[in-house]
Amino acid sequence: MPKRTPLIAGNWKMYKTALEAGETAATLAQRVADVKTTEVMIAPPFTALEAVYAVVQGTNIALGAQNMHWESEGAYTGEISPSMIKAVGCRYVIIGHSERRQYFGETDQDVNRKIVSTIKAGMFPVMCIGETEEQRESDETFSVLDKQVKIGLEGLFSDDLINLVVAYEPVWAIGTGKTASSDQAQEVHRFLRTRLAEQFDADFAATIRILYGGSVKPANIAELMAMEDIDGALVGGASLDAETFSQIVRYK
């Protein structure tokens, strides 16, 4: 099996001014400067992207955006285009986060459009998928994920998706303090890798990084990362503090 470089990503959501984000990024850069075998990404708010890029440029921390519009430009008041976020240094774009789906009505079709646009712009999509607590209790986890992967990646080929990252977010574990057990998370990650092999091919599926994103903390990261098909984490609240996040990055 090809070696997949772990990715620990921090989603800062709607927290931190540009000044606060720059300060946090500077502290984080110092604390993870010697990390060589794990990739690090942080996604601050749009207003802080430029300030954070000025700090992390030339370090081992990549910059990501939390969202974007699928059109390259146009009369879309309040939206941000792929070229805009790329111009301020973004390498990654988080697509279809559960909060975007839940609060702003984003659909699997929207996710697909955004992934296509991310790839066209030369950035790396982080496609978020996951089931709600109600869906899990109704034994619909795998059918929900199957649909999200199928539609989210529809019309694309493995050659298009060499920089794709998948992030499994059990919605019931985001911001709730609940966490899927490492075995539960591994079961889903294994399903997703098998699902990608079916939609594309086994070699492709073996190279794709699948992150876990559900209340990841310093206390549970090592156990999660020990699982065969878990290649990193998409971290929310615990990524807002540079010391806490650096402990997650340095899980080894």
3-class DSSP assignment, residue 106 = coil
> What six digits make up the tokens of 154?
């529809």
CA-to-CA separations, 34 to 89, 124, 246, 250, in angstroms, rounded: 22, 24, 11, 10
The pLDDT of residue 2 is above 60: no
Query: Active-site residue numbers?
Result: 97, 169
User: Would the pLDDT of 106 be above 60?
Assistant: yes
- Residue 177 pLDDT level (bands cut at 50, 70, 90): low
Instruction: Tell me the average pLDDT across 12-40.
Output: 98
Q: In the structure encoding, which two tokens stand for residue 95, read together?
A: 């697509």
The C-alpha R_g of the chain, in whole angstroms, comes to 17
**Taking 80 as the threshold, does the pLDDT of residue 175 lie above it?**
no
Counting residues of the chain whose pLDDT is more than 90, the rounded percentage is 91
pTM of the model: 0.96
Least confident of 108-117, 164-173, 188-197: 164-173
> What average pLDDT does this structure show over 240-251?
98
CB atoms within 10 A of CB 111: 25
Position 1 scores a pLDDT of 47
* Domains of the chain from N-terminus onward: 7-249 (3.20.20.70)
Of residues 181 and 178, the one with the higher pLDDT is: 181
- Asked whether the beta carbons of 197 and 205 are under 8 A apart, the reply is yes
Q: What is the mean pLDDT of the chain?
A: 95
What SS3 class is residue 32? coil
Residue 244 falls in which region: left (phi positive, over 0), alpha (psi -120 to 50) or beta: alpha
**pLDDT tens-place string over residues 36-59:** 999 999 999 999 999 999 999 999
What number of other Cβ atoms are within 10 A of residue 110's Cβ? 19
- Measured CA to CA, the distance from residue 177 to residue 170 in angstroms comes to 12
Q: Work out the angle between the directed axes of helices 18-31 and 242-249 (0-180°, nearest 10).
A: 40
